[in-house]
Amino acid sequence: MAQRKPARDQRIRNALNGRNIVFLGMMGSGKSAIGKMVARRLGFEFRDADAEIEEAAGRSVSEIFAQYGEEEFRRLEQRVIDRVLSDGPLLLALGGGAFMHEDTRKLVEREALSVWLNADLEIILERVSRRPGKRPLLKTGDPREIIAKLMKKRDPVYALADVHVMSHGGTKAEMRDFVLDKIDQYLGTPS
């Protein structure tokens, strides 16, 4: 088994042939935590779209939302994602709403393999409760209701991703390997 994982990782790199990987999904789905681990295994740089946006704007995502609103944030987000993906190959974790915008989806489709990290409502609630200040969309009401509504709206769009991975109760390392196995299967790389 130990020999299989490095071989799998090399097959993935070869099959991607310089393409990026983009992780998408709800806040708290593991895009950053698992994304960093997958990137490390593949020898890719890991980048987080929200961190890139904050650096470009010189303010936090929450401040951008408060000062300019979601529409302006999404325009900035798309420009930053376009710039970051041109630096690849890398693994980019998108903010939860980025993939909802058609132009951003087209950009991701053209420049990357998209991976939807899906998780059920209870897992997401538990994870986002650890860092409530980092979630501007949750400041407007009951987090459970907000997340449930977002999931209902976003899941059909997230389902347009190339690879779908359902989060399970295992360790982060197990989840990393599960994601890599799903990518390997999607790419159809022979063992």
d(CA 111, CA 80): 14
Q: What average pLDDT does the segment 29-34 reach? A: 92
For the cut 70, the answer to whether the pLDDT of residue 132 exceeds it is: no
Q: DSSP 3-state helix, strand, coil percentages of the chain (rounded to 5)? A: 65, 15, 25
Q: What average pLDDT does the segment 57-83 reach? A: 89
pLDDT band at 125 (very low <50, low <70, confident <90, very high): confident
Q: What sign does the dihedral 30-33-34-35 (CA atoms) show?
A: positive
Give the amino acid at 63: E
What's 4-181's CATH class? alpha beta
> H/E/C letters for each residue in 163-189?
EEEECCCCCHHHHHHHHHHHHHHHHCC
What is the reported pLDDT for 3?
45
What is the reported pLDDT for 71?
85
